[in-house]
Structure 1
Amino acid sequence: MQTTKTYPKPEDILPHDKPMSLVDKITDFEPGKWIKATTSFDEKAFFYQGHFQGNPITPGVILLESMFQTCGLYLRISAETTPGFPMIMGRAVKVKNASFSKEVKPDQLIEISAKFKHKMMAFFVFDCEIHMDGKLVCHSELVLS
């Protein structure tokens, strides 16, 4: 018999409020390894106004922020479940080699994954990807402190 894992709601553990709370649901988590989450963006979201008229496309910076928030979720859950893991705010420090290969439109479900690479002093490094319909949309290395 397989048990279903339940995870906290992102809005219950991240310091973000709407409209900047961008991650809807944590779907999987492996301590010390990775976290996976999903989200979609409502067509009425503020960032679609004027981006672009008659052809709304999710700005790349919003996709990056959703990846940063997913990393923040990893750090928050790790702090709650791993003895000695520091509780940090998870401030965005660096975006390295961001690449965008597919447009994300309103109401399309995206899957975000953040793989923990390593910690150096107070910096946490992640490899992040966004997939939609099984295809890579965006990937980047992100650093948080």
Structure 2
Amino acid sequence: MTSDTEDGSRTIALDGIQRRLPHRYPFLLVDRVLDYAPGEWLLARKNVTANEPYFAGHFPQKPIMPGVLLIEAMAQACGLLAFVTREHEPGAELPDGAPLFYLVGVDGAKFKRPVVPGDTVEFRASLQRVVRGIWLFQADARVEGAMAAAADIRCTMRAV
């Protein structure tokens, strides 16, 4: 569900995320969209819990969220931004069925701090430009305002 709040922010709850992304547990890595501006930016959140399936095998004595999953979560935030941007374009028609936004590139990935059980990660995706069907984003993941990871992400939209 998408809703506008009294302060003008736009949120998307889990059911609205699931209408826009094909991912499901355990691979859906965005719990809620906190706010967005179509064509500009999106802020999303994930509450990292101790029972995430990857913690059983990813450093079980000192569990940390795998970096590749941080990249995937940032890419999911980018896909959500692309989707809401397309939804808000005047006269835009989305392909039959929900389109998929495929990850086509990751550049300059940096990891600054581990993400551990109990953390709340905020993902910010910023749309830089769209060139010949390739959407270019800057994305980052933060915990309590501290940078955990960042990358430049490219994706493209395809009909299902």
One fold, TM greater than 0.5? Answer: yes
Question: What amino acid is the match of 1:30?
Answer: A
Residue 113 (structure 2) aligned to one of 102, 107, 110: 102
Scaled by the length of structure 1, the TM-score of the pair is 0.92
**1:15-94 correspondence to structure 2 within 5 Å:** 15-85=22-92, 87=94, 88-94=99-105
Q: Distance in 2 between matches of 1:138 and 1:91?
A: 20
Specify the alignment match of 1:140 in structure 2: 151
What is the CA distance between 1:46 and its match in structure 2? 1.5
Structure 2 gap ranges (5+): 1-5
Specify the alignment match of 1:127 in structure 2: 138
Q: Distance in 2 between matches of 1:34 and 1:4?
A: 12
Structure 1 gap ranges (5+): none
What is the CA distance between 1:54 and its match in structure 2? 1.3
What is the CA distance between 1:103 and its match in structure 2? 0.4
Instruction: Let me know the Cα RMSD of the aligned residues.
Output: 1.7
Q: Distance in 1 between matches of 2:91 and 2:49?
A: 38
Specify the alignment match of 2:122 in structure 1: 111
Question: What amino acid is the match of 2:120?
Answer: L
Q: Deviations over 1:28-87 (max 9, x none)?
A: 111211101011222111211221021100000010000000011111112222225564
Specify the alignment match of 2:3 in structure 1: none
Q: Distance in 1 between matches of 2:141 and 2:54?
A: 19
Q: Distance in 1 between matches of 2:28 and 2:75?
A: 11
Scaled by the length of structure 2, the TM-score of the pair is 0.84
Higher fraction of strand: 2
Q: Count matched residues.
A: 145
